[in-house]
Amino acid sequence: MPFDIYDLSTFTHWIDTSLRAGMSPFWAVFTEFVLVGVVFLAFYAVVGLFLVYAERRICAFMQCRLGPNRVGPGGIFQTIADLIKLLFKELIYIKNADKILFNIAPFIVIIASFLALAAIPFGKGLQAMDFNIGIFYVVAVSSIGVIGILLAGWSSNSKYSLIGALRSGAQIISYELSVGLSLIVIVILAGTMQLSEIVEMQRDGWFIFTGHLPAVIAFIIFMIASTAEINRGPFDLAEAESELTAGFHTEYSGIKFAFFFLAEYMNMFIVASIAATVFWGGWMPLHIGSWEGFNHAMDFIPPFIWYLGKTAVIIYLIMLFKWTFPRLRIDQLLTLEWKYLLPVNLFNVLLMAFIVLKGWHF
């Protein structure tokens, strides 16, 4: 296929071979870990800063105002200025707070998003870890973040932080069920949990098109449930400014607050990446039946561009939710999950299993 010219597995294999030729196996693997870590740290910082700027612009557009327009052309350096401010801002220590848990909590939240990011296939051969249980791994490590949120709320010795953390815990644990079940629908269709294989199976058609009605329902539920799981509006009850000031991270300042702030945007990026990978074919180009000329032209667009484009569209949809719909009450939030999304999801899993059993999918 033409897009095999963008296969980066040969390049990564060459790096591995070169390192092993000049070092012992231990130091070669250690060097590879360091290289991958540095790349992910840089990627994390760049994507986080860009998403903060993008949301400010989208929010301003929807509210008919300008948005950032002072620092740099079009305000493009505003988020960098904010980052520098947070880095140099004094860390305020809270009296009677549990200092150990208070300091550990932001790191747990940000480490959880790093672990989830490692399994995402960014392109052909461009993946840090390719587990055969990739979807299970992503769901498992992404749920670690709620521990950091609960610890942050409890250790802060603040009623606002505690209420925000309890809300967040109930919300994340509830909506994880719908996120997991919507992904199980695609696992049933694909017959594997390995993310690279799921992408390869969408070579001739993305699952959102070839998976019939259950795949469309699963995608819609995944978008709703994952938006709630990452505490984005209109499900941002854990950070309801009008009720709880800043929620579970009210008492944090400086770089520790920046960790929570950055982790929220990276979690949004991870959720969009998983949706693009599982439902929209990941880095696979768009192919339409026997349109050979069209399909051939699509093959020459680099896979990384396809992946980023799909992820950007889904991120825009998530941002659109926040600035379009009013915030739900906590009882409405839990009712939506337990009385509506979960029963629909369970039925959808059975429907997809029946379709696959009968061989009715494309």
Q: What is the pLDDT of residues 177-216, one digit of tens each?
A: 999 999 999 999 988 999 989 998 888 888 898 888 899 9
What average pLDDT does this structure show over 344-356?
Answer: 93
Q: Is 256 exposed, middle or buried (0-12, 13-18, 19+ CB in 10 A)?
A: buried
Q: Please say if the pLDDT value at position 24 is more than 90.
A: no
Identify any residues that bridge with 126 across adjacent strands, giving them in sequence order. 123
Encoded amino acid at 40, one letter: F
**Tokens at 83, concatenated:** 């980052």
Q: How many residues does the chain have?
A: 362
For residue 2, what pLDDT band results from cuts at 50, 70 and 90?
Answer: very low
DSSP 84-152: HHHHHSPPPPPTT--HHHHHHHHHHHHHHHHHHHTT---BTTB-S---TTHHHHHHHHHTTHHHHHHHH
pLDDT of residue 130: 84
Distance (Å, rounded) from C-alpha 108 to C-alpha 114? 10
301 Rama sector, left if φ>0, alpha if ψ -120 to 50, beta otherwise: beta
144, 107 contact by CB (below 8 A): no
Encoded amino acid at 102, one letter: F
Residue with tokens 């959808």: 348
Among residues 49, 269, 257, the alpha carbon closest in space to that of 156 is found at 257
In eight-state DSSP terms, residue 284 is: P
Angle between helices 25-62 and 9-22 (to 10 degrees): 140
Distance (Å, rounded) from C-alpha 283 to C-alpha 340? 32
Among the ranges given (101-110, 155-164, 268-277, 339-348), the one the predictor scored with the smallest mean pLDDT = 155-164
266, 44 contact by CB (below 8 A): yes
* pTM of this structure: 0.89
Q: Please say if the pLDDT value at position 139 is more than 50.
A: yes
Q: Is 41 exposed, middle or buried (0-12, 13-18, 19+ CB in 10 A)?
A: exposed
Q: Please say if the pLDDT value at position 164 is more than 90.
A: no
Name the phi and psi angles at 11, rounded to 5. -65, -45
Among the ranges given (163-167, 256-260, 289-293, 347-351), the one the predictor scored with the smallest mean pLDDT = 289-293
Among residues 204, 272, 302, 287, the alpha carbon closest in space to that of 8 is found at 302
pLDDT of residue 1: 45
Q: Please say if the pLDDT value at position 30 is more than 50.
A: yes
Distance (Å, rounded) from C-alpha 87 to C-alpha 97? 22
For residue 3, what pLDDT band results from cuts at 50, 70 and 90?
Answer: very low
Backbone CA torsion sign across 93, 97, 98, 102: negative
